[in-house]
Amino acid sequence: MKNIKTILTLSAMSLALGACSTGLDKSRNLGNPNVTGNTLAQQVCSVCHGGIGNDVNGNSVNPRYPKLAGQQKEYLVAEMNEFHNHTRKDPMAQAMMWGIARNFTPKQIDELANFYSNQKPIPDSGQKAALVAEGDKIFHEGVLDKGVPACMGCHGANAEGNGPIPRLASQHADYIYKQLSVFNTDEVYTEGKENVPDSDLERPQGAVMEGIAHGLTEQQRRAMGAYLSSLH
């Protein structure tokens, strides 16, 4: 009986506190379609994808989270839909972005993509010169004997991306390395199999990247990260 009274009292306190609430413009509610993309960018995304000082600009501090600043709008829209639909399913996407994108509306996705594609990307510093040089070479020339084409052919001369092809310039080295490893995992899984369903792949939209990533050694993937993260 005493417990019930306690529970009721606690409920009443929740209720009283619930009455004080500010407007939608500072909401962190991921389930309310009326919260705008800009508000979500400030209140939610900035916690992981932001940066100190200029907190909403999509330049994340921890390389665990990719930079979104200046990313191609079309690519951002595609990825958010993929998280929402659970088609992009590498472990970190599942651990965090699936939850974030659970109730995204097309309008929110559009506003978010607009917001981040218009932010200014900031490159990282402190890369090892030798690794940067190695990545530079592969980016412009590919690794011909392994059948790896020059990345610039698709990602652009300055790795700025183009529509559904992502910008890579300024991206965190560790994130580049990890995504290349994801594409490689998919390639290894697909090898020698026929008609592998998309649902078996971690990044099914990355079919073109699978063979490319597989042609790169561990060290070369690190080199791509070092080079790309240093680019403006």
Partner 1 sequence: MKVSNLLGKAKGSALLLLGTASVVVSMDANAIPVFARQTGFKCVACHVGGMYPQLTSLGRMFKLTGYTMGNRPNLTDLEVQNDYPPVAVMVQGARQYYNNTSTQGLPGHGQGVPSSSMNVQVVSFFAGGKITDNVGAFMQWTGQKYDNTQTGSQAGWNAAAIDNTEFRYADRTVTPTTDTVVGAYVNNRATMSDVWNNMGPWQSGWINYFNSGNAQAPTTFLMGETTQHTAVGAGAYIFQNKTWYGELAVYKSPTHGPLSALTAGAPPSNAAAGSNGTVIDPTPYLRLAYNKEWGPHNFEFGLHGMMAYAHGSGLLGSTGPSDYSQPVSTYRDVGFDSQYQYVLDPHYFSAHARITREYMNNAGPGVFANYSNLTPVNATDNLTETYVDAIYVYQAKYGAQLSYQNVTGSNDVGLYSMAVNGAGGLTGNPNWSAWTPHVFYAPWQNVRIGYMYTFYTQMGGVTSGNNNLVFNGTKFSPANFNTSMLYIGFVY
Question: What is the spatial distance between Cα 10 and Cα 152, in angstroms, rounded to a whole number?
Answer: 60
Q: Cβ closer to ligand HEC: 155 or 222? A: 155
Q: Which stretch binds partner 1 (CB under 8 A): 49-57, 129-137, 200-208, 214-222?
A: 49-57
What is the sign, positive or negative, of the torsion defined by CA atoms of 64, 67, 68, 71? Answer: negative
Interface of this chain with ligand HEC, residues 169 to 198, rule: CB under 6 A: 176, 179-180
Contacting residue, 35, 39, 42, 44, with ligand HEC by CB under 6 A = 44
Site pattern 89..118 for partner 1 (x: CB under 8 A) = --xx-xxx-xxx-xx---------------
Contacting residue, 47, 130, 188, 196, with partner 1 by CB under 8 A = 47
DSSP string, 90-103: -HHIIIIIHHHTTT
7 binds partner 1 (CB under 8 A): yes
Interface of this chain with partner 1, residues 12 to 41, rule: CB under 8 A: 12-15, 17-22, 24, 26-32
DSSP string, 117-166: HTSPP-------HHHHHHHHHHHHH-BGGGTBPPTHHHH-TTS--BTTBP
Place of tokens 């073109």: 208
From residue 24, give the alpha-carbon distance in Å to each of 32, 40, 106: 9, 10, 18
**Length of the chain as a residue count:** 232
* Half-sphere exposure for 128 (CA within 13 Å, toward CB): 9
Which residues of this chain interact with ligand HEC, rule CB under 6 A? 40, 44-45, 47-49, 64-66, 68, 76, 78-80, 90, 92-93, 96-97, 100, 112, 138, 148-149, 151, 153-155, 164-166, 168, 176, 179-180, 203, 205-206, 208-209, 212, 224
Which residues of this chain interact with partner 1, rule CB under 8 A? 2-3, 5-15, 17-22, 24, 26-32, 42-44, 46-48, 50, 52-57, 61-64, 91-92, 94-96, 98-100, 102-103, 174, 178
